[in-house]
Amino acid sequence: MSTYSLAIHGGAGTITRASITSEKEKAYSDALMLALETGEKILKSKGTAMDAVTATILVLEDCPLFNAGKGSVFTSDGTHEMDASLMRGENLEAGAVAGVQLIKNPILLAREVLENSEHVMLSGKGAEAFAKERGVAFETEEYFFDEYRFQQLREAIHEGKIILDHTSSENKKFGTVGAVARDVHGNLAAGTSTGGMTNKKFNRIGDSPIIGSGTYANNNTCAISCTGHGEYFIRAVVAYDISCLMEYKGLSLEKACEIVVMEKLVKIGGEGGLIAVDHQGNICLPFNSEGMYRGWVENGSKREIGIYRL
Backbone angles phi, psi at 233, to 5 degrees: -70, -30
Closest CA to 141 of 74, 209, 208, 62: 74
176 catalytically annotated = yes
Among 75, 176, 194, 227, the one annotated catalytic: 176
Backbone angles phi, psi at 188, to 5 degrees: -110, 155
What CA–CA distance (Å, rounded) separates 9 from 306?
9
Active site residues: 176
